[in-house]
Amino acid sequence: MGLFDLFKKKNTTSEPQSQPTFSPNEQQMQFVSLFYENQPSVSKEDILAELNKRFSTVKSSENEKSLSFYFPEYTVNFEEGEVPAQGNIMISEGAINFERFTSTLRQAWDWEEAEESLRKCTVEINLFDFMSRGLNYQKRLEYFQKFVLSVVNATQPTAIYFRNSDKLINPGAFLDLCEGEQGAFLYGSMNVRMYNVSDGDGGFLMDTVGLHAFGLPDFECRFKNYQPNDIAQVLHNIAYYTFDAGDIFRSNSTVQGIGENPVWKTNRTEAKVKPERMLIELIPN
C-alpha cells in the first residue's frame, strides 16, 4: 500500500457532527530575512536580471530608490480591476537582534553551522509579498519563492530566515533544493520541529510549522517508539500532500503511517506548541 492510498479512500467521508470545530488558519504575509556579513550590493538591475530568468514579465517601481517589483503573471481581482502581486525589499537599519533567534537555532538541526554563520552577519534585508492574498495559496508560494530565489542569487546572503516557519537555512541548500529537478518548493516555507516531552510517558513531539500561513493545517505527532527521522519523513510527506490537495483532513479519519500497524488516526485540534494555529494531530499505533 502506498503512502497516500488511505488519503484517497477517506476524502469522501463526512465529518461527524459531534466533534469540535476549529476556525481555519488565516493566510499571512510571506516574510523572509536575508543576512550578510558585509554590506551587499543591492542593485535593481541585477535583481531584475535574475527575475527575468524566472518570470515572463516583470515590472519595477519607477522610483529608483524603491525596490518593489510587480508580476503581471500573478494578478488578483479587485472591484477596481486586476492588480499584480508584488515583491518588496526593505533594508533594515541598526544592529541585528540575535536574541530573537534563540528558539530558532535550537531547531536548526539540518544546518550545523547556522549559529556561527548568523552571528557573523551585520546586515539584514527583508523581503515580503504584497497584494497577493487573493491568489490561490499555491500561486502565492510559487511567485514569492521565485522572487526570493532571484534576490538570493543576485545578492549572495550568508543566511536566510523564513519568519512564518521560524526556519533558518543555508542559502546554498535553498538554491540547490528549490531549483533542483524535483523542486522542493516548501523548503524554507515549512519547518519540521522536535521537542522532548517531560510529562506522562515522555517521548517526543514533532510538528510542522508554516502551512498555517497559507490557510492550511499544520501537523503534529507525539511518539515514543519510533525514530525521529522516520516521523519527520511522515510529517514532511503529509505536508507536501496537503499543499497539493488542500485542507481535506478531519478528526477520526486515517492516514498511512509507519510501523507494524501503519493505519494512524487523526485529530483536528489546536497546536500544543506556539505559534497558535489549527492543525491535524497524527496518532501512531
pTM: 0.90
Q: Does position 64 have pLDDT exceeding 90, yes or no?
A: no
The topology under which CATH files domain 31-178 is Cell Division Protein Zipa; Chain: A, (3.30.1400)
Q: Which residue has the cell 502506498?
A: 2
Q: What is the mean pLDDT of residues 42-65?
A: 92
At 255 the pLDDT is 92
pLDDT digits (tens, 9 = 90+) for 216-239: 999 999 999 999 999 999 999 999
Report the alpha-carbon distance of residue 36 to residue 155 in Å, rounded.
9
Q: Does position 121 have pLDDT exceeding 80, yes or no?
A: yes
| Predicted confidence band of residue 19 (pLDDT cuts 50, 70, 90) | low
Tell me which residue of 121, 193, 133, 191 sits closest to 162, measured CA to CA.
Answer: 191
Q: Would you list the domain boundaries of the chain? A: 5-26+190-283, 31-178
Q: Which residue has the cell 505536508?
A: 239
What contacts 133, CB < 8 A, 6 or more positions away? 27, 76, 140
Query: Exposed e or buried b for every residue in 109-140, given b needs 16+ CB within 10 A?
Result: eebeebbebbeebebbbebbbebbbebebebb
pLDDT digits (tens, 9 = 90+) for 248-265: 998 999 999 999 999 999
Q: Does position 281 have pLDDT exceeding 90, yes or no?
A: yes
At 172 the pLDDT is 96
pLDDT digits (tens, 9 = 90+) for 158-188: 999 999 999 999 999 999 999 887 778 999 9
